[in-house]
Amino acid sequence: MNITERMLGWLDDTVAHSSRNLARRSSRRRFLGRLGAVLVGASTLPLLPVSRANAEGPKELGDPQSCDYWRYCALGGTLCTCCGGSVTTCPPGAEPSPISWIGTCHNPVDDKDYLISYNDCCGKATCNRCFCHRSERDLPVYSPAKANDILWCFGTESRSYHCTVAIVLGEATT
Amino acid sequence: MRRSGWLLLLVASTSMANIEPETIGTSTMAKPASTWLMVHGALGPAYVFDTATGDMQGLLSLSRFTPAVETRVDAGELYAAESFYSRGPRGERTDLLTIYDMTTLAPVGEVELPQKIAALGFLQYIELLDDQRHVAVYNMTPAASVSLVDVEDREFASEISTPGCALIMGTANRGFLQICGDGSLQLIRVDANGDESQRVRSRKFFSIEDDPVFDKPVQTPEGWLLTSYQGQVFDVTVDGDDINISEPWSLLTDDDKTDSWSPGGGQFIAYHESQDLLFVLVNADGEFSHDSAGSEVWIFDRSAERRIGRLSLEHPGTNLFVSQNDAPLLTVTGDDMQLYVFDVETLTLVRTISEVGWAPGLLQGF
């Protein structure tokens, strides 16, 4: 989610550089073609047009507490990795939103594209650490499944936004 | 110690005897001028400034979920969709349309809404319809709908389901337009009770995958202006039951495109009505830069469809606001979270306004 759209809007040079590099290497249409159908809701996950990641997950490099980490290519919000959680777990006491938006990010280690689910963690005060806003393949709010400019604490006890995780759903396939 | 304490009391008593004691009071806010704006923080309050002086005029205490504020200057009222939990970040949820008095900035009325209001700052998440009676509030659960409130009678009127379409752009005859995910627009009209009376869909005029239009339309005297990620500009008008969409013109020349310029930023576009000028934040960051801060503001003569000025920003800009007076002032939120106010005629910086609230977001006029 983008609770701090404006407060976050402030990509540091490293992030911007990284994003541009990734953008240069990637074709927008190719990614959109791979993204395929609308992807909303954890309940729909079994229907996603992806091949599940293997048990070990993709090989990765980078710092999950940094906005230029490869999984965060379409994340807008606060990184849960800086707030007592991890890249796949909410911090203590926060409730994961079962509904998310989906990005497609390129993993530079294996040179493959992966579908990433950005789930907000909710029900606590905003963490306000490690703001991150990247917009690769992000679409306007009238296309919500692919929009990060939405507070994605839906289906939770409280809409209060805490932070965001980035979960690999699987390898993006055409 | 005790002796010095008595001495101080004696001095204080002596001083009080020589002047009229002051009393505490509460200021009221003057009627907003065209150079006034609200700076809406990402997590709540809106700070009111006069960009002609840089002075703060007051503060609206808004919920952390409030997307934007609607103004009705003639009635002296402001309307805000708000959402609260009974215990801070948790507890029982209440969604409201709150009516604020424009003089005291205090709430003077509340209408309870379905617990669905869309959060985050978008100007077109709330709209006062042209009957000056119904306020429409955009909902997202994530299913899309619109709540209608009668602000004269202070009562909830209806909820209209709008699957696949978002935003609220007011049009004539109690109508509003929405942008839809299939590349079309939707026109909805309501009757005098706020119930849906008409629904029309336009032709598809853009590709969501190839070049979507921003979710940040601007109102023009004739209708609405939409801009695409790649700088295509569409004029939208409504004539009876027809939604008319112009052939697009481009903000960008071939050379601009070669140099990777494109529009972008949180609130990247502003329009001055009487001079028919468009102000657009642009960056040269290339693909996926629609949210990136702009390194320049480009100024366009809308009717001539051509650029007439460029303003280079020392601090890249995220939000724009232009005052609607004859000597317009352009306000840009810098990435250092200060407001930079420029004289449009000379394109010179006239003042900087700092400490405009934590995480400043939308800039709104009155």
DSSP B72-106: EGGGTEEEEEEEEEEETTEEEEEEEEEEEETTT--
Domains in chain A with CATH codes: 5-172 (2.60.30.10)
Distance separating alpha carbons of residues A43 and B294, to the nearest angstrom: 39
Instruction: Give one DSSP letter per residue of B55-71, joined into a string.
Output: -EEEEE---TT---EEE
The pLDDT of residue A41: 37
Q: Which of B142, B318, B362 sits opposite A144 (nearest CB)?
A: B142
Is the model's pLDDT at B74 over the cut of 60?
Answer: yes
Q: Using CA atoms, how far apart are residues A45 and A145, in angstroms rounded to an integer?
A: 13
Cis before residue B328, ω within 30 degrees of 0?
A: no
pLDDT at B15 > cutoff 80:
no
At residue B154's C-alpha, the angle toward residues B128 and B81, to 5°, is: 55
Closest partner residue to B140 (CB to CB) among A7, A24, A150 is: A150
How far does the CA of residue A123 sit from the closest CA of chain B (Å)? 6
Greatest alpha-carbon span in chain A: 41
Domains of chain B from N-terminus onward: 251-366 (2.130.10.10)
**What is d(CA B3, CA B148) in angstroms, rounded to the nearest whole number?**
69
Q: Mind listing the pLDDT tens digit for each residue in A95-133? A: 999 999 999 999 999 999 999 999 999 999 999 999 999
**Rounded distance between C-alpha atoms, residue B70 and residue B137, angstroms:** 10
The count of C-alpha atoms lying within 13 angstroms of the C-alpha of B297, restricted to the half-sphere facing its C-beta, is 32
For residue B9, the distance in angstroms to the closest alpha carbon of chain A comes to: 46
Which residue of chain B comes nearest to A133, CA vs CA?
A: B291
How many whole angstroms separate alpha carbon B348 and alpha carbon B358? Answer: 27
Residues of chain B positioned with their CB less than 8 A from the CB of A143: 181, 208, 212
The CA-atom distances, in angstroms, between B144 and each of A1, A143, B353 are 17, 11, 37
CB atoms within 10 A of CB A155: 17
Task: Pick A6's closest partner by Cβ from B140, B164, B318.
Answer: B318
Section B261-269 average pLDDT: 97
All residues of chain B having their beta carbon less than 8 Å from the beta carbon of residue A9 are: 265-266, 291-293, 318, 335
Q: Note whether B5 contacts A: Cβ–Cβ < 8 A.
A: no
- Closest residue of A to B265, CA-based? A9
β-strand partners of A51? A171
The tens-digit pLDDT sequence of chain A (174 residues) is 444 443 333 333 333 334 333 333 333 333 333 333 333 333 334 334 344 445 578 999 999 999 999 999 999 999 999 999 999 999 999 999 999 999 999 999 999 999 999 999 999 999 999 999 999 999 999 999 999 999 999 999 999 999 999 999 999 986
pLDDT band at B350 (very low <50, low <70, confident <90, very high): very high
User: Is the CB of residue B206 less than 8 Å from the CB of residue B194?
Assistant: no
pLDDT at B14 > cutoff 70: no
Q: Which residues lie closer than 8 Å to A84 by C-beta, 6 or more apart?
A: A91, A92
Q: What are phi and psi of B332, to 5 degrees?
A: -125, 130
pLDDT band for B59, please (50, 70, 90 cuts): very high
B319 inside 8 A of chain A by CB: yes
What distance in Å separates the CA atoms of residue B113 and residue A95, rounded to the nearest whole number?
25
Task: Kindly list the residues from chain B whose CB atom is less than 8 angstroms away from the CB atom of residue A159.
Answer: 65, 83, 93, 119
Q: Judging by DSSP bridges, how do beta strands B144-150 and B329-334 pair with one another?
A: unpaired
pLDDT tens for each residue of B22-49: 999 999 999 999 999 999 998 889 999 9
Q: Is B274 on the interface with A (CB under 8 A)?
A: no
Residue A113 near residue A171 (C-beta atoms within 8 A): yes
- Rounded to whole angstroms, how far apart are CA atoms B107 and B78? 9
Locate the DSSP E strands across B210-338: 218-219, 224-227, 232-239, 242-245, 249-250, 262-263, 269-272, 277-283, 294-301, 306-322, 329-334
With beta carbons less than 8 A apart as the criterion, state whether A72 and A134 touch: yes
Contacts with B121 (C-beta within 8 Å, 6 or more apart), sequence order: A5, A6, B40, B42, B67, B68, B266, B361, B362
User: What is residue A81's DSSP assignment?
Assistant: G
Q: Which amino acid is at B261?
A: W
Report CB contact under 8 Å: A5, B164: no
Sign of CA pseudo-dihedral A173, A107, A40, B218: negative
What is the rounded average pLDDT of the residues B90-100? 98
Q: What is the mean pLDDT of residues B303-326?
A: 98
Cβ of residue B107 closer than 8 Å to a chain A Cβ: no
Query: Which one-letter DSSP state was computed for residue A29?
Result: H
pLDDT of residue A38: 32
> Which of A138, A142, A158 shows the shortest C-beta gap to B90?
A158
Which chain A positions have a beta carbon within 8 Å of B362's beta carbon?
6
Nearest CA to B202 out of B237, B231, B173 is that of B237
| 8 A C-beta contact, residue B361 and residue A8 | no
Contact A158 B89 (CB under 8 A): yes
Q: Are strands B46-50 and B36-41 parallel, antiparallel or unpaired?
A: antiparallel
Q: Is there a contact between B142 and A154 if contact means CB atoms under 8 Å apart? A: yes
Q: Is B349 exposed, middle or buried (0-12, 13-18, 19+ CB in 10 A)?
A: middle
Q: How many CA atoms lie within 13 A of A128 on its CB side?
A: 7
Contact B335 A16 (CB under 8 A): no
CA atoms within 13 A on the CB side of B351: 10
Chain B residues with beta carbon closer than 8 angstroms to that of A149: 120, 215, 291
| Residue A174: predicted pLDDT | 63
**CA nearest A19: which of A95, A78, A70?**
A70
Nearest CA in chain B to A124: B89
Tell me the HSE value of A43 on the side-chain side, using a 13 A CA sphere: 1
**Angstrom distance (rounded) from CA B225 to CA B169:** 10
* Active site positions of A, annotated: 101, 120
pLDDT at A57: 83
3-state secondary structure of B116: coil
In angstroms, the CA B354 to CA B57 distance is 14
Burial class of B267 by CB neighbour count within 10 A (0 to 12, 13 to 18, 19+): buried
